[in-house]
Amino acid sequence: MPRLILNPTLSSDIPVKGIVFDMDGTLCLPQTWMFANMRAALGIAKSVDILDHVYSLEIAEQKVANEKIRQIERTAMVEMKPQPGLDELMSFLERKGVLKTICTRNFETPVNHLLSTFLPEKLFHPIVTREFKPPKPSPAGILHIAKHWNIDPKNMIMVGDSVDDMLAGHHAGCATILLESDVNGHLKEAPETDAVVPRLDYIINLIEEGIDIPVRSTNISDAEVKQLD
């Protein structure tokens, strides 16, 4: 089984060239109340995907629904706190020349708030927010990033805390790292999860030692391929 590793030493080793991060619950501490409030505001059940519901509405209704969830996200933004190990990991990646960015289902304003507040001198590009369609769990956003970076997804890692993150990374052909929380323990043994860490700076040691990963290919529909053009 090949290793995804920062400094390859074996012929089978794959170098880490870029890392994509989810935002909510990954770069900042989880605010799970946010999603319950969104569903209440939209009048939908827990089993219904929030963005799928919004995109299913007529244009005028979409605008109203989007503003409802954005208002909740703005409230959460004010209470945002960084994950332990955030600055240590990002500083390490910059020293090592590893590309990094964000792929989130949130909108642009909270992303900009997180970066300006907690990572003001760190470079993240290109940032994918929910304005990019289709959103996670589709791999399209990650593949868009890979194309912009001009690197193969097999040289990338998707770091997140949800099933959407693991699915998106897995189907893009990336390695996946699950950031452990009180509510995602069921994902530790999921076939889409390659490694698990309790805090962000543990990723430093993980990529220095290497992640054993199965060989996988990109899994994306023709419609999603067109989105990358």
Supply the pLDDT for residue 31.
87
How many angstroms separate the CA atoms of 107 and 103, rounded? 10
Supply the pLDDT for residue 226.
46
Query: Are 163 and 187 spatial neighbours (Cβ–Cβ below 8 Å)?
Result: yes
- Would you write out the chain's pLDDT as a tens digit for each of its 229 residues? 899 999 999 999 999 999 999 999 999 999 888 889 999 999 999 899 899 999 899 999 999 999 999 899 899 899 999 999 999 999 999 999 999 999 999 999 999 999 999 999 999 999 999 999 999 999 999 999 999 999 999 999 999 999 999 999 999 999 999 999 999 999 999 999 999 999 999 999 999 999 998 876 665 554 444 444 4
SS (H, E, C) the chain: CCEEECCCCCCCCEECCEEEECCECCCECCCCHHHHHHHHHHCCCCCCCHHHHHHHCCHHHHHHHHHHHHHHHHHHHHCCCECCCHHHHHHHHHHHCCEEEEECCCCHHHHHHHHHHHCCCCCCCCCECCCCCCCCCCCHHHHHHHHHHCCCHHHEEEEECCHHHHHHHHHHCCEEEEECCCCCHHHCCCCCCCEEECCCCHHHHHHHHCEECCCCCCCCCHHHHHHCC
Supply the pLDDT for residue 218.
64
How many angstroms separate the CA atoms of 151 and 145, rounded? 9
**Length of the chain measured in residues:** 229
Q: Indicate the pTM of the whole model.
A: 0.89
Characterise 130 by phi-psi region: left (phi > 0), alpha (psi -120 to 50), beta (else): alpha
- For 12-65, the pLDDT digits (tens) are 999 999 999 999 999 999 988 888 999 999 999 989 989 999 989 999 999 999
How many angstroms separate the CA atoms of 35 and 29, rounded? 14
